[in-house]
Structure 1
Amino acid sequence: MRVVDEFQKEDVRVSIFSWNNKYLIKFELGPMEQTFKVSEMDVLDEKDLGSFYQGDFFDQVKLRFKEMGKCLQNQIESM
């Protein structure tokens, strides 16, 4: 597995790996993570991966984290 890039954006840790002819784009926030696998054949240049951590896609990732956080909190409170 090759590390392509790692950085923090708006409290979200973003890690991009290249493995098995796929890019793994991992977003982490607190105890939660989301990982997307994209075929290397679908990406012409590694610079194009930027579209995954900006704009609508990144906004949806952050929204999903909010939903995940609420779900986790509800489950912990109901134990």
Structure 2
Amino acid sequence: MRYIKDIPNDKFKIGLYQWNNKYIVKIESGMYEQTYKIDDYEVESAAEIERCMDKLFIAAITSRFDAMHGDFSESLTRNEVIF
């Protein structure tokens, strides 16, 4: 996997990579991660992908991270891993 660049963001670490004819956007928040894969023929440049990291998309990502945290916490509690 070839690292291209970090995409600036105040809330998350967003990395852009290229691998197997795909762009990979990796968004990290603490112990959680979301990954999006885009075929490189679908976009003209990495700049187009960077433009997609707009406020609405970041809001959706935030909501998804919150849901991931809730799901994992509930499973840990339900299975008596934490109390």
TM-score by length of 1: 0.87
Contact 2:7-2:50 within 8 A present in 1 as well: no
Find the structure with the greater CA-based Rg.
Answer: 2
Aligned partner of 1:14: which letter?
A: I
Name the % identity: 24
Contact 1:23-1:40 within 8 A present in 2 as well: yes
Residue ranges of structure 2 left out of the alignment (5+ in a row): none
- The CA distance in 1 between the partners of 2:10 and 2:77, in whole Å, is 27
Runs of 4+ in 1 over 3 A off after TM superposition: none
Q: How much has 1:54 moved relative to structure 2?
A: 1.7
Q: CA RMSD in A?
A: 1.5
Q: How much has 1:8 moved relative to structure 2?
A: 5.3
Indicate the structure with greater strand content. 1
Mapping of residues 40-51 of structure 1, within 5 Å = 40-51=40-51
Kindly indicate whether residue 64 of structure 2 is the aligned counterpart of residue 53 of structure 1: no
Kindly indicate whether residue 18 of structure 2 is the aligned counterpart of residue 18 of structure 1: yes
Aligned partner of 2:28: which letter?
A: E
Number of positions where the alignment pairs a residue of Structure 1 with one of Structure 2: 79
- The CA distance in 1 between the partners of 2:64 and 2:51, in whole Å, is 17
TM-score by length of 2: 0.83
